[in-house]
Amino acid sequence: MKKYLNFQHLFLWMVLLGTAAFSVSCDSDDLYDPSFENIDNELQLSISEESVALSEEDKSRELEFIWSTGTNYGTNQGIFYTLEIDLEENDFSFPLEYELGKETYDFSLRYGVLNDILQNTYGVEAGDSVDLTARITASVGGEEDMDQVDVVNFTATTYQPLTEELYLIGSASPNGWDANNPIEMTRQGDEAVFEYTGSLNEGEFKFITTLGEFLPSYNMGEDENSLFYRTSDDEPDDSFEITEAGVYNIEANLLDGTISVTTVDDPPFSKLYIVGDGTESGWTVDDPAEFEQNEEDPFIFEYEGTLSPGDMKIFAGPMGDWCGQWYRPLEAGQDITNTDVEQNSGCDVDNTWRITEETEGRYKITVNTRDESVEIEQVNLYIVGDGGPNGWDINNPEPMERSGSVYTYTGPLGEENATGEFKIAKFKGDWCDGEWINSASNGQSISNTEFIYTQGCDGPDNKWKLREGEAGDYIITVDLDAETISIEAQ
């Protein structure tokens, strides 16, 4: 028998198991303890399966431990239970221990969690079988030397768990072969099924499981409908092929090793518009402000603008027809922060979103016509750069104060670096995750407030740069409606 020990992971898994890995059932009446009436009851532990073949398919299935009450020896004291699980060869020198309290007579451990414990705490390799032992101890409250113990042995065979993430890369992908910036597939619930719907170029693609790493990967297997799990450069590196650019749905089932790639019809609408007295359009369906259609995914439409107190809804045409096609909320006067929506037509149900004085401001609205969903996010601006107060920390940039479409930063520039640089972000958390406001040229003086918009990491990555003697306190004002910036020394 191999020695399977990995002490580095013990504490982590003890915490995990203590919070989410098991379920315990107990009586709801704390005033009644059945052990009071079982003076002669012998403690007995049983297990639902003595030989457990763990698997991805059954990872939610539970291994159950059940025990009798034991006895309090007529002391009229409650009985407290402790369950321990260990490798049989360890003889409980390195157990997982669960303090279960009173009136608890069963414990459940999911297959997936047990598999993780065996691999990450005890170092058992995938596919290995290991002998385990469980011990229940019943302790009589307030009494020493009255512990009762029973033990049950069992075996478990581990498996290689499937990845929690899957990413699309390749010349057919919108992001190309960049393993550091792949397209993340959407996982379907707790299933090992991943999906992507969007634009693909003519070219090749495959999947990786880890950002920045080309292995392991899922490649084309025996045919275009099968997956091959590749772990070595020595193994075949066959990719799937897209012969014609278009919008596709890809569904990869890692559990059964299959993949389907199907073309997607055109989006239901070619244009969307924002309408309402809380918007720049007002109540017109003749010439309302238009959403921008996403170039990579034509099913996605985006709009950014300032919303004022009033109402709004989303128009899909045809122009001039109030009883045409709409995306409207489920309730009349629904709060702008509630994105529940339905696509409908006609004038019978005319629900609108409501913008109040508390919720007015600059927003980005994204409509996914594929799944008929809407995202409504308030736009924030942040100062980023070593010329600003928070440096190059995109996770914690300096926020600008928001008032409608006007954003203001009041504070020092060049405090940490007297000739530092800065730019303005509409997001935080990832360098390539949103839109930037950059200076018109790189290294531009703060006296020149001309600017451009850039998306993600597409660049150019221009920044304003402080000159010698310019460090000090400033007010930076950005008006997104007027598309102006001012930088004024204090």
Written as six digits, the tokens of 56 are 């991805």
pLDDT at 181: 85
**85, 93 contact by CB (below 8 A):** no
Q: How many whole angstroms separate alpha carbon 412 and alpha carbon 420?
A: 12
Q: Can you tell me whether residue 112 is helix, strand or coil?
A: helix
Q: Which of 149, 143, 150, 151 lies closest to 72, judged by CA? A: 143
pLDDT at res. 371: 81
> Which pLDDT value is given to residue 39?
52
Return the pLDDT at 30. 42
Q: Give the pLDDT confidence score for residue 40 in this predicted structure.
A: 60
* Nearby residues of 79 by Cβ (< 8 Å), 6 or more positions away: 33, 35, 69, 70, 71, 72, 102, 138, 139, 140, 141
Q: Which parts of the chain have pLDDT scores under 70?
A: 1-40
- Put simply, whether the predicted model's pTM sits higher than 0.75 gets the answer no
pLDDT of residue 319: 94
Other Cβ atoms closer than 10 A to 23: 12
Q: What are phi and psi of 61, to 5 degrees?
A: -65, 155
DSSP state of 226: B
The pLDDT of residue 372: 85
Give the C-alpha separation, 422 to 383, whole Å.
Answer: 7
Q: Report the pLDDT value the prediction gives residue 187, as an integer from 0 to 100.
A: 87
Quick one: pLDDT at residue 8? Answer: 39
